């Protein structure tokens, strides 16, 4: 039997240090949803780009970054 369950995505917006992650983790636990820390993902990618000097002046060089990701993580 095939179930047609709708996927529900909950996004929480707010100022830094306002408790968004704490609230999101509590909601996901209560509702038995998966928790995805997109803020942590963003910071990790930014840190990798900074460490690998994937910048051209003040501009983001996305081609160099995609190449780096493919080389390091998608072998």
pTM, entire model: 0.61
So what's the pLDDT on residue 15?
Answer: 92
So what's the pLDDT on residue 35?
Answer: 92
Output DSSP code: residue 7.
Answer: P
Say if residue 1's pLDDT is above 60.
no
Per-domain residue ranges for the chain? 20-73
Q: Nearest Cα to 49, choosing from 41, 16, 38?
A: 41
- The Cα 22–Cα 10 span in angstroms is 14
Q: Give the C-alpha distances (Å, rounded to integers) separating 49 from 2, 23, 31, 53, 63.
A: 43, 29, 35, 6, 12
Q: What value does the mean pLDDT take over residues 61-74?
A: 77
Structure confidence by residue, pLDDT tens digits, 20-66: 999 999 999 999 999 998 888 888 888 888 887 776 666 677 777 78
């Amino acid at each position: 039997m095939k179930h047609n369950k709708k996927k529900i995505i909950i996004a929480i917006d707010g100022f830094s240090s306002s408790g968004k992650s704490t609230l999101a983790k509590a909601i996901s636990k209560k509702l038995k949803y998966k928790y995805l820390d997109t803020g942590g993902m963003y910071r990790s990618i930014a840190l990798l780009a900074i460490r690998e000097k994937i910048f051209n002046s003040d501009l983001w060089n996305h081609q160099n970054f995609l190449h780096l990701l493919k080389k390091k993580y998608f072998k």
